[in-house]
Amino acid sequence: MALPAQPIPPEKAKISYEQFLEQIDEDTLAEWVDGEVVYLSPARLEHQDIAGFLNALIRAFVQRHNLGYVVSAPFQMRLLRSERGREPDLIFVASENLHRLHDTYLEGGADLVVEITSPESLLRDRGEKYAEYELEGIPEYWVIDPDERRVDFFVLGADGRYERRHEDAEGVYHSEVLRGFKLPVRWLWERPPLHEVLNQME
């Protein structure tokens, strides 16, 4: 006896980026991928601690040197070449690109993007987003893995491909985009008091 035919699930309706922005409120963690809304898992406590620490650190440096603007999640970055809307944990937009910064999203890639991984996002951050950010021409990309206590720093080379960069012999990373910004990687795991860290940066 033949089995009854299984109904074919209807295809999800594609929506434009403008419709996506209208549907998603500012408290919802979501990205726009291939015309569909992809909801993100809530962040863990350590993720938030690292994000908050790094946001304060980079924001203070950027403001002190009048370099541009720092935005933390949730905030959209619209990738033009891959036609996707991503929501990085942290972005830096240089002064010369502030005209692309809108009220609810950045048009095009940031100058520096930071993603803090979770078990759910690890492959996406190292795979899809790596390829998308490289294609978009984002000059510097950091992938922070709290579980492995590992940070991968990527800088766009002259050929338009990412090159892996490393911290120096003392474990300090020197940013290419944020000239003069030095990050002892151990700070991400130890997170010393901000007032002590900021004093060292002066």
Tokens linked to 73: 């999640």
pLDDT tens-place values along the chain, 202 residues long: 455 555 554 556 788 888 888 887 777 778 888 788 877 776 789 999 999 999 999 999 999 999 999 999 999 999 999 999 999 999 999 999 999 999 999 999 999 999 999 887 777 888 899 999 999 999 999 999 999 999 999 999 999 999 999 999 999 999 999 999 999 999 999 999 988 888 777 6
b/e per residue 141-179 (b: at least 16 CB within 10 A): bbbbbbeeeebbbbbbeeeeebeeeebeeeeebebebbe
Beta strands 172-174 and 182-184 are: antiparallel
pLDDT of residue 1: 45
| 153 close to 118: Cβ distance less than 8 angstroms | no
| 87 close to 74: Cβ distance less than 8 angstroms | yes
Query: For the whole model, what pTM was predicted?
Result: 0.86
Nearest to residue 45, comparing CAs of 146, 114, 137? 146
Domains of the chain and CATH, by start:
43-201 (3.90.1570.10)
Q: How far apart are CA 152 and CA 154, in angstroms?
A: 7
- Strand segments, DSSP code E, in the chain are 30-33, 36-39, 68-72, 76-79, 84-86, 90-94, 105-107, 112-116, 140-145, 150-156, 162-165, 172-174, 182-184
Q: How far apart are CA 183 and CA 157, in angstroms?
A: 21
Residue that the structure tokens 């409120």 belong to: 25
Q: How far apart are CA 147 and CA 80, in angstroms?
A: 32
